[in-house]
Structure formats: C-alpha cells, structure tokens
Amino acid sequence: MRVSLKQLKIIEAIAQAHSFSRAAKLLHMTQPAISMQVKQLEASIELALFERQGKLMVLTEAGVELLHCAQQVHEQIRQTEQIMAAMRGIQHGRLHLTMAATANYFAPQLIAAFHRQYPQVDIQLSATNRQGLLGALDAHSADMVIMGAPPEGHQLLGKPFMANPLVVIAHPSHPFAYRQHIPLQELGDSRFIVRESGSGTRRAAEFFFAEHGLHLHAGVEMNRVEAIKQAVMAELGLGIVSAHTLEMELKLKRLVVLNIEAFPIVRHWYIVHKEGKRFTPVAQAFCQFVLDHAESLIHLPKL
C-alpha cells in the first residue's frame, strides 16, 4: 500500500468536514482533485474509505483505521520538527494543551507564568468535557491534558499536581447557609443541581454519597459549572463544584460554601498523557513547570 502525506491530509479533512466539497475548501483544492485522490487511495488498498449517510460522508471501518494512522503520522512529524529545532538551539516551539472546562479557572495563571519564563513558546489551548479530553488524547491532538484522575483502560499516565476540593454551595438565604457542622445525613433529602453523567465531579459526588449510605438527589442536570452556580443563585437547589471556581461569587456574597460533615471531597488535578508519549522539549518543560510550581502559584478562595 502506497499512501502519501497529501492523501492523509485529505482523509483528515473529509473526516472533519463530512463533505468532499467542504474538505476541498479547507485544503484550497478543487473537489475533483479531492475525489481523484480518494479514488486512487481506495484502489490502492482495495477498500472503501467513505460511505454516504444522508448528506454526510462518513468513514468506513477502513477509513477510521487510516484516519488514526494519519493522526499518528502528523503527530510524529510535529514532534520531530520540534526536536530538530531544539537541537539547533532554538528556544521557541508549540504546545498543544487541552483541559477540563473547570481548569479554565486557574490554568491561564499557570500558562502566563510559564510564558514569562519561555516567552517564545506558542500555546494552543482548548477546553472540553471529560469525553472530549479522552478523545483529544486518543487522536493525538493534544500533547497532554489537565483533568481529574484519568480512567483505567485507556493506556494513560497521570501525574497529580494540585488538590481539587469539591464543596457544597448554596444561596445565602438557604436554611443551611450559616449553620456549623451540618451532619451529612441532613443532605439526604436535598435537591442538587449536578453535572452531566460521565462528568468527573458528578462521579466523585455520587461515589461519596453512596459510600456514606446516601443517594445524591439529582434534581437538575447541567453541563457547565457556570450554569450550576447560576441555578444555585436562583435557589433551584444545592450544588457540588470545585472550590477553584468560586472566587468571584464568594467575594460578592452571591453564594456560600456549606459547612458539611466529611466535606470537602478532596480530589486532585492531573497532567495526563498517553503511555509511551514522546514529549517534545517544550511539552516536557511545561509538564515539569506545572509539577514544580502549580501549588505555589494557584491559591484557593477563602471559604
């Protein structure tokens, strides 16, 4: 089988755009040229790479495998370019970092501090949910991710770098708002605004409640921390969120952190990457910087 880098780029573009014509625009090519390259590649491997579903072009099983190969090839090329740059004594490079949306409350401070030390490094940053983080690692579109404890079975390595306490928040008018040492059992009938199923915060809270013989009453489900805080401020119920997300609301006295028995739930933030990942010099420098300096640079709000 003979496959060119150009053909691999075309496969990636079609997989992204779900259309030959849109892929042609992304690559500044004509649609006939795109179609010809795909036909030549399919003839070479004797397998179809795409099939039509309605108006969309989707990958076949063979196409998925070839896309995965393309992603690995382009990742290896990018890493090699940066290694060669480092060998030439060039200090700049590029870092691809993806993080859990909640980490957006502190990650910019880490990046700013790193950038002051390495001002010529370009950083590509994106935020997504847990499923998106795992997808970024599988697709090699991120050097590393910042997330909670990585799941087993994905060939991932994680290094904890900072505590992530989960606390219960309420509107200041809530009956529990200014009580001290509230027994955990009193939360049994409380209505909670929770993250979506699969969220690390949701899973940690459900496990914590079950461990103490309680059921977490999920009255409302939302997929963003900001939405949960707004719902709690609207007195729809209690919330469980990372303490890192509360600085402004606590200062403005729009929310309070409840003094609940056995809380906070102490989790940790991790730098996570694929097993066997060969870091570029820039990625290695950032990883070590976070491990060495995160706890001294990031401070929790006064609860």
Q: What is the C-alpha end-to-end distance of the chain, expressed in Å?
A: 61
DSSP 196: P
CB 215 within 8 A of CB 254: no
CATH of the domain at 22: 1.10.10.10
Residues 169 and 142 in one domain: no
- Taking 70 as the pLDDT cut, the residues of the chain under it are 1, 82-92
How many domains, in total, are found in the chain? 3
pTM: 0.68
Nearest to 241 by CA among 195, 276, 197, 273: 195
Q: What residues make up the domain containing 38?
A: 5-68
| Per-residue pLDDT, 87 | 52
Vertex 222: Cα angle to 175 and 148 (nearest 5): 95
Q: Which two tokens stand for residue 184?
A: 């955990």
Beta strands 156-170 and 238-242 are antiparallel
Structural domain contains residue 49: yes
Structural domain contains residue 132: yes
CB 281 within 8 A of CB 198: no
Structural domain contains residue 11: yes
Structural domain contains residue 19: yes
Residues 31 and 97 in one domain: no
| Per-residue pLDDT, 259 | 94
| Measured distance CA(228)–CA(236) in Å, rounded | 9
Q: Express each pLDDT in 190-229 by its tens digit.
A: 999 999 887 888 999 999 999 999 989 988 999 899 999 9
Structural domain contains residue 78: no
Structural domain contains residue 234: yes
Structural domain contains residue 82: no
Q: Express each pLDDT in 154-197 by its tens digit.
A: 889 999 999 999 999 999 999 999 899 999 999 888 999 999 88
Beta strands 94-100 and 144-147 are parallel
Residues 191 and 252 in one domain: yes
Residues 143 and 181 in one domain: no
Structural domain contains residue 24: yes
